[in-house]
A and B are shown apart, each in its own frame.
Chain A
Amino acid sequence: MIKVEQLTKRFAATTAVSDISFDVRPKEVVGFLGPNGAGKSTTLKVITGFYSATSGSVLVDGHDVSRRPEAVKRAIGYLPENVPLYPEMRVHEYLRYRAALKRVPGSRRRAAVDSALERCRLGDVRTRIIGQLSKGYRQRVGLADALVGDPKLLILDEPTIGLDPNQIRQVRELIRDLGRERTVILSSHILPEVEAVCSRVLIINRGKIVGQGDPGELRAGLGKEGASITLEVRDPEGRAPEVLKAVEGVTGVGEPIAGEDGLAVFEVTAGAGASVRERIFDAAVGAGFKLLGMSSRTLSLEDVFVQITTSEDCDEGDAERDEEVAQ
């Protein structure tokens, strides 16, 4: 459905996206994950043809975006970040106009608008003025706009940003629903969202893809099915960090949060299995500090994400930070 090859996008002095390649298969729901300013939006804007690539190629449904933008645009329903809409128009007016713009033939326009309204549960606000709608409704108008004309590919840039938890859940359900019959790419900096909705995740940081796979794979491959263990110790002499680092299976020891009376709380990352906890216990007894509490949880995608986006690439020294690439 989408084939991106060696895509690079440079703005005057900054490189927003550098040499990324990926494929999206039909009917896949792919999540673009990355911290703010990682190059997610820029990549999406190149795919939709709003920006031109500096080098590399983008094929959508077999058409090259730079050569046949018209064909590509017709295949795509796009929800830009921040959902720009015309505030003075009424919801159904706006969707009718968008349907006409997207060349839905006159006879099918009403049906197309009605079905988009229904899918996004906008029936009760169809005659309201867009500017007077709440953020949640506006977001759904944007989604309905992306849907109208039944595109094969949906590109949603931060579709749940600024919504309340209830609305977020609704929008996610809708996206999951839509993903059953078409290809969806969405970007997000919220991990549980991507985990909940997407069948495949591309992690992008500083304009490069630093990891990809389905959410489980990512967790397994990169976090090595690890666990994060929270320890509460009484350790007046402060020996615990060193002792813990030496324990077999421990991959990292966080900064201690010191409390009163030599109490300290540590975050320890470790390989999976109960045996690590046993060894930690033995080590504590051996070293003579008191273990007051220990709790373990499997690494979430969030931990993996933090690991990837903060550890790799950081010391590569490429000065091309793209945080300034604000839209």
Chain B
Amino acid sequence: MSILAQVRREFAAFFHSPIAYVLLLVATVLNGLVFMFIVDFLSDPRSPHGAPMQMLFSWVIFWFIVIVVTPLITMRTLAEEKSSGTLETLLTAPIDEFGVVVAKFLAALGFYLVLWLPTLAYPLVLSRFSEIDLGPILAGYLGAAGVGTMFLSIGILCSALFRSQIVAALLSFAVVMVLFLAPLFSFLDPAITSDSILGYMELISHMEDFSRGIVDSRHLIYYGSVTLFALFCTVQVIQARRWRG
């Protein structure tokens, strides 16, 4: 019950801050741009066959949104509580560190999903004019949620480490960039195959799979384990306060 109350507060808190509206605006405009290209693509008879909605989840704009937006969603979560001292009122209420971290994570995930909400209109609109294949679209959303989950948990961990929201955002941006870019080295060296670790972590091809309708459990396990590890570390970081002051 305490966790539920906390999730509700955290989720509402996003909409009390101007950043939330900026993020919503940016995501909606960029996704709208993608949709414009999708429509262009469909209305051009020379276009090859394929699932046009793929563009929404595997294009450069998708990565731009995810990588830039997630640190901005999570930077506030714990850094603000630490700097304003509200962590003390929070943790002296009947909720423990685990509950607080889980609540913050769920609220951040909820807000992240809200950012994608407007894009649900695209398949609806398209379905009026053409056949659409629901499978790849749902898989695409699943992939977007999975990658987002992983990035958000990293952002929350970074936010737990600092009092400054900006420092937290910069660090989580850096970590997320490394996770995104490092596996790309596999393209430079043909010896690295998709069976190697770097290949396993290669996010761009993950999303290509998802947006083609392939739900590969290995990808989901990767996101899930990074998420659990990051949240576990976050709980440890907040607990350390008891000893260090």
Contacts and interface: CB of A to CB of B under 8 A. Distances in A.
Contacts of B245: 11, 16, 42, 51, 325, 327
Nearest to A49: B92
Contacts of B242: 50-52
Interface string B234-245: 000000011111
Interface in A298-327: 325, 327
A251 interface: no
B216 interface: no
Contacts of B84: 84, 86-87
Interface residues of B, number: 28
Contacts of B6: 101
Contact of A101 (B5, B13, B241, B244): B5
Interface stretch (A18-26, A74-82, A168-176, A180-188): A74-82
B88 A80 contact: yes
Contact of B86 (A11, A76, A78, A84): A84
A89 B244 contact: no
Nearest to A85: B86
Q: Is the interface of B mostly helix, strand, loop or mixed?
A: helix
A100 interface: yes
B88 A50 contact: yes
Contacts of A257: none
A88 B9 CA distance: 11
Interface in B37-69: none
B85 A84 contact: yes
Contact of B93 (A12, A16, A73): A73
A141 B4 CA distance: 23
Contacts of A12: 244
B243 A52 contact: yes
A50 B93 contact: no
A85 B80 CA distance: 11
A145 B17 CA distance: 23
Contact of B89 (A52, A74, A80, A100): A80
A281 interface: no
A70 interface: yes
Choose among B1, B13, B94, B242 the residue with the greatest number of A CB atoms under 10 Å from its CB. B94
Interface string A46-64: 0011111000000000000
Interface string A84-126: 1111110000000110111100000000000000000000000
A51 B239 CA distance: 9
Interface string B1-30: 110111011000100110000000000000
A241 interface: no
B96 interface: yes
Among all A-B residue pairs, the 10 with the closest Cβ atoms:
A100-B5, A84-B85, A88-B16, A52-B242, A84-B86, A48-B92, A73-B94, A11-B245, A80-B88, A101-B93
Given A12-B244, A50-B88, A327-B245, 5 more contacts: A85-B89, A86-B13, A97-B9, A98-B93, A102-B2
21 contacts: A45-B88, A51-B242, A52-B242, A52-B243, A73-B93, A73-B94, A80-B85, A80-B89, A80-B92, A84-B89, A85-B86, A86-B84, A88-B17, A97-B5, A100-B1, A101-B90, A101-B93, A101-B94, A102-B93, A103-B1, A103-B2
